[in-house]
Each structure stands twice: as C-alpha cells, then as structure tokens.
Structure 1
Amino acid sequence: MDWQYDGIPLHPLLVHLTTVSVPVAALSAIVVAAWPAARRWLAVGAPVIGLVALVSVPLATSSGEWLEHRERETALLERHTHLADGLLPWSIAVFVLLTLWWGWNRFAVPRVTSSGLVRAVAVVGPVLLVTAGIGSLIEVVVIGHAGAVSVWKG
C-alpha cells in the first residue's frame, strides 16, 4: 500500500492517532478496573476505545515500515522500529481484557451463583487490566520518545 497522500507520508498522522488512542484505552482499562462506577459509565465505550487503539497500531507500524524504506537507516531509526513491534501485543491485551471485563460485568455477574468465581474474577480481572494498561502506556511512551529522537537527532 502507498502510505502517502499528495506526496506527504501518512505515518505522522497515524502515529498521532495511536499516541492518543492507546493511552486513552490504557487509562480506560485502569479506570474500569479500579472504579466500579466507571464500568457503568463507560460500559461498551471502553472496549470500543480499545478497538480503535488496536486498529491504529498496525496502521502506524505499516506506514512506518513504508516510510523506513524511504529514509536513511540509522541506529536511532532502527531502535524506534524495533520498539514499535512490541506495541501490538499490549494493544491486543488491553482490547481483549476490556471486552471480557465488560462482558463479565454486563452478562455474567448478574447470573453467576458461585461467589467464589465472582471473587476470583473480581481480583484477577482488575490486576490484568491494570497490568496491561500500564504496560501499554510505558510502551507507547518509549516508542514515541525513540521516534522523536530518531527524527530530531538522527
């Protein structure tokens, strides 16, 4: 695919989408894990935000790979592209966990009779959500910083 419009690379535009949607999805994961009222308030919105973040990551990496082949290769650029490959698993985890957490709280909790299962999921779910949220936040900051350094110092 040609990742440019009118001769201008689309990578910066797609990266901005990613650098907004991934942290918003991560923060949504942390908020719904820690604050029960947010689960009702965000409801299906949290998984939708996670989906936007998930879709933005391959778009940003694909457009970045396209751009990488048109730029002079440097160690800084190589570091940025290497780090960028690590964001997709975190985005998948955030989306899947947000979707499962929403589905659990929406459909399963009202129907489950085993209080042991409810308690186990009530502990494990938030831990996984917070871990995935913090991991994706750290990853997007590190990748973004490496990209900025490769542009401005490379």
Structure 2
Amino acid sequence: MGTVNGLPAHILLVHAVVVLLPLAALLLLLTAVWPAARRRFAGPNAILSVLVLALVPLTTSAGEWLEERLPRTELLHEHAELGDTAVFAALPVALLALVIWWRHRETTTTGRRTYLAPLSVTVTRIVAVLAVLIAGFAAVDTYRIGDSGAKAAWTDKVSSTPAPEGPDGD
C-alpha cells in the first residue's frame, strides 16, 4: 500500500493502530476482571481486536513501502524493527478477547457447550492474569513503537525556538 490522497498510507494507518490497539487491550483487561464489562463489551472487543489484528500487517506493509522511500537512518531502522513486533502484541490481545467472549457466550446460552470452562473459577483467574500481562505488553509495545517512529520522523526537524516570520507575516 503506497499513498492515500497523496500522503503515505503508513502515517494514516498508524494512527488507527496507535489508538485502537491500546483500547482493545484496555477492554481486554476490563472484560477479563469485571463481569459487568464482560457482559457489555466482550463481543464488541472481540470484533475490535480482530480488526486491529488485521490492521497491523497493513500498517507494517505500508511502513515498509515508506521506509524504502526515505533516507536510511539508525532511528528509522530501529522503528522498523520495533514495528515488526506489533503483531506479537495484537495477536494475543485478539486471541484472549475471543476466548473471553466465547467463555461469556457459553455461560449465557443454554446447552452443553463448555469447551473453555466458563464456570471454572481457576480458569477465570488464569484468563484474568493473562489479560493483565497481555494488555500491559500491548500498551508498552505500542508506546515503544510510536516513540521510535516519532523520533525517526521528527529528530532534528523541529527547533525549540519559534521560526522567524516570513515576509508576508506568516
């Protein structure tokens, strides 16, 4: 994927991932530990998490396209390397969101489906601990990738003092 309306697609797609992945991680945490949130958000978060998982490879692919068109720098290389880890944050968020949704679905439907032990307190605690770890990892990974991208894009390009006004007062 190259450009959208003349802008590199990566700089547009990355904003979706930077907002939606931490949101999905936060909802994962809430649905894992809070039954009221689980009832309300388990299904929507499963959908959101899968959508984010699909956006990550699109974003990294667009980033690779952009990287080939920029001067090679150490900051850009570091960002590209860190960007490749986003899928390792999005995948467990999506998988555990699906597990939480499925377990909640099993407890609210009649029948004998009990594949993911929806009434097991031990399994629920394990899911909650995993959610805390995965959500924390996703948040930290998203921050590290975004920080490295901002440094790659803006280092040595902005002054700490205001720019002089142009001849027409701009």
Tell me the TM-score normalised to structure 2 length. Answer: 0.82
Larger radius of gyration: 2
| Secondary structure class of the residue paired with 2:88 | helix
Identity %: 35
Does residue 133 (structure 1) correspond to residue 135 (structure 2)? The answer is: yes
Residue in structure 2 matched with residue 50 of structure 1 by the alignment? 49
Gaps of 5+ in 2: 157-170
Name 2:101's counterpart in structure 1: 102
1:3-152 equivalences in 2 (<5 Å):
3-107=2-106, 111=112, 112=114, 118-152=120-154
- What is the Cα-based RMSD across aligned positions, in Å? 1.9
Shift of 1:52: 1.7
SS in 2 for 1:44: helix
Task: Give the aligned residue type for 1:130.
Answer: V
Per-residue Cα deviation, 1:11-44 (whole angstroms, up to 9, x for no partner): 1110001001101100011111121110001131
Structure 2 distance, partners of 1:20, 1:3, is: 21
The number of aligned residues is 151
Distance (Å, rounded) in 2 between the aligned partners of 1:30 and 1:52: 18
Q: In structure 1, the residue corresponding to 2:71 is in which secondary structure?
A: coil
CA–CA separation in structure 2 for the residues paired with 1:6 and 1:37: 42
User: Which consecutive segments of 4 or more residues in structure 1 shift more than 3 A?
Assistant: 108-112
